[in-house]
Amino acid sequence: MENSDEGDPQPSGGSGEGCSGEPDQASEETAATRSLLNTARLMEENPTLLRLKELETLEKVTEKVDKLTVFGGLDGVLKDVVRIQVPAS
């Protein structure tokens, strides 16, 4: 019996050469999902890390808006949970 790999799909974890790229994309998506899960677990265990992520997100949002109104001053931003309300169109 001959041992031929022709037509057989590349096993997961292989180089993926000659494939359409789908296995590599699936691996990347799996890795990204795993990374998000690990980040969520870390934030759940560490409130300071969660707060830093909130402030990082707020910074990104403020780069994209023309006007930002902060109630409670700097203390409100630093101590309260960020709440973003999108006005109804």
Average pLDDT rounded to a whole number, residues 5-23: 53
15 vs 33: which has the higher pLDDT = 33
Predicted confidence at residue 16, as pLDDT, reads 47
Label residue 53 exposed, middle or buried (CB < 10 Å: 0-12, 13-18, 19+). middle
Cβ atoms of 82 and 54 within 8 Å: the answer is yes
Per this entry, what is the length of the chain?
89
pLDDT in tens, 28-66: 999 999 999 998 899 889 888 888 888 888 888 888 888
Tell me what the pLDDT averaged over the chain comes to.
Answer: 74
Whether this prediction's pTM lies above 0.85 is answered by no
DSSP-derived secondary structure letter, 15: -
Mean pLDDT is highest, among 8-17, 21-30, 74-83, for 21-30
